[in-house]
Amino acid sequence: MARDLFISDLHLSPERPEIIRLFCDFMMQTAPASDRLFILGDFVEYWLGDDDPAPGLQPAFDAMRQLADAGSKIYLMHGNRDFLMGETFAANTGCTLLSDPCIMEIAGEQVLLMHGDTLCTDDIAYQQLREMLRNPAWQADFLAKPMQERVMMAKVLREKSEQEVQAKSMEIMDVNPQAVVNAFTEHHVKRMIHGHTHRPAIHHLDINGADCTRIVLADWYTQGHYLEVTGPDEYRMVDF
């Protein structure tokens, strides 16, 4: 049986070099024993396009390339911070981009993978912002701007986001229960894995009479975290 690992919300940034080192250690010590590594969004704190110089992050990208060259498959899903990562980045690091949401066969069953932000439908302001940022026309216009201008725009967006987060309740920023039910129903699955909310847990749900499981991954702000899947119902969450 394959060994699959899942991580999300690392928010890698030169401002937190210890987390970059932790990720590199994970890629050298833990990930090589896996067949597949899934990164479910917000791998980096922000990404301004595949021409982003990304100061300080090259060791993490080199670790990805090394793992891919050794034969492990790396899948990367966009989050709300790194949605501009493109095919050039994927080619350079040896990863494969995943759509959000997508269904993958994990331990013999169909599993729904998501970043998780689309489940937070109570946060109307965020969903409106997300719709703008994911618009191909907006992205093309943004990527056509000089890098210095993109840096300034990203800084403004981050500061605005931080201010809004402080003013919102935790309930608004968490998943909407009906959105979760809708996702299970629409995709005809019994298991879902996502990140984004930074509320790690394994939720057991009754969806239309079926036993379903929603697994939420942790962030990497203070420690490392991964989900290991080695077989049917063999799901283990590990902090390190």
pLDDT digits over 56-103, tens only? 999 999 999 999 999 999 999 999 999 999 999 999 999 999 999 999
pLDDT, average across residues 1-18: 95
pLDDT, average across residues 126-131: 95
pLDDT at 120: 97
pLDDT at 150: 97
pLDDT at 183: 98
pLDDT, average across residues 9-16: 97
Look up the domain containing 36 and give its range: 4-239
pLDDT at 172: 78
Q: For the CA atoms of 54, 55, 60, 63, what is the dihedral angle to 10 degrees?
A: 100
Count structural domains, the chain: 1
pLDDT, average across residues 209-227: 97
194: which residues sit within 8 A by CB, 6+ positions away? 8, 40, 113, 114, 115, 116, 119, 214, 215, 216, 217
Distance of alpha carbon 226 from alpha carbon 228, whole angstroms: 6
| Mean pLDDT, the chain, integer | 96
In the block, tokens 């969450």 appear at: 237
Q: Take residue 112 and report the two structure tokens written for it.
A: 């729904």
Residue 77 sits in a domain of what CATH number?
A: 3.60.21.10
pTM: 0.96
pLDDT, average across residues 44-60: 96
Percent of the chain whose predicted confidence (pLDDT) is above 70: 100
pLDDT band at 1 (very low <50, low <70, confident <90, very high): low
In the block, tokens 């966009």 appear at: 78
